[in-house]
Amino acid sequence: MATTSSVAKDRPDLGPVFGSITDEQDRRIRGILLEVDENLLALARHFELERAGWEGTGLDLFSYPSGQVQLSSFVEPCDKGDGNHSVSFCIELAPVSNHDDSCSEPAWDIELEVYADCQHKEYCGSMHLVHDRPAVRTASPIDAALALRDAAEELLRLGKETPLASWLLLASDDPQEPA
């Protein structure tokens, strides 16, 4: 089972995610991650929610027993007020070493995905990936944090520009007709 801690509230050591970083890099990265949190919480407020991520403050650090680590968050508004019309806006930053042992140089992947509850006539009970951006790979901790900030800004833009009903349509039998 993974352990989770709020980056903003708990201020966990970022070394497991970014490797050996200087105090100056740590301060700079935390400043950038604060901007990520601000974008995530702005997205939540857009949907009249008060929280982003598991801890509610934006980004969370996940540490798994396998040694894998990641920074990630989500905002999950619900259309029509029931549990079958949710859309989940997600971002993640993870060291490439989490999934590629052959990578000899430090690198990080930043992902952005949007999931929507199944709206098919034959309900499968799961969420469907309705939008993903190809992962951005970076070669420095600062660039990784900046790419995560860019992803959070894009997530905010996507959430504000596209109604929840449109995302839900993408998880239906006919994305051209209302579910």
Q: What digits encode the pLDDT tens for the residues 12-58? A: 999 999 999 999 999 999 999 999 999 999 999 999 999 999 999 99
- Mean pLDDT value of segment 137-158: 97
Q: Helix, strand, or coil here: 41? A: helix
How many domains are contained in the chain?
A: 1
Residue 176 inside a domain? The answer is: no
Give the position of tokens 């989770």. 4
Residue 80 inside a domain? The answer is: yes
- Higher local confidence (pLDDT), 42 or 125: 42
- Mean pLDDT value of segment 151-177: 90
Query: Does the model's pTM come out above 0.85?
Result: yes
The predicted pLDDT at position 179 comes to 42
With pLDDT > 90 as the criterion, what percentage of the chain qualifies? Answer: 78
Residue 32 inside a domain? The answer is: yes
Residue 48 inside a domain? The answer is: yes
In the chain, what is the greatest distance between 2 CA atoms, to the nearest angstrom? Answer: 54
Residue 174 inside a domain? The answer is: no
Alpha helix segments (H runs only) across 23-179: 23-46, 141-161, 164-169
Residue 175 inside a domain? The answer is: no
Residue 178 inside a domain? The answer is: no
- Mean pLDDT value of segment 115-141: 91
Radius of gyration for the alpha carbons in the chain, expressed in angstroms and rounded: 17
Alpha helix segments (H runs only) across the chain: 7-10, 15-18, 23-46, 141-161, 164-169
Range of the domain at 74: 3-169
Which residues neighbour 33 within 8 Å (Cβ) at sequence distance 6 or greater?
A: 7, 8, 59, 71, 145, 148, 149
Confidence category of residue 90, pLDDT binned at 50, 70, 90: very high
99 pLDDT above the threshold of 80: no
104 pLDDT above the threshold of 90: no
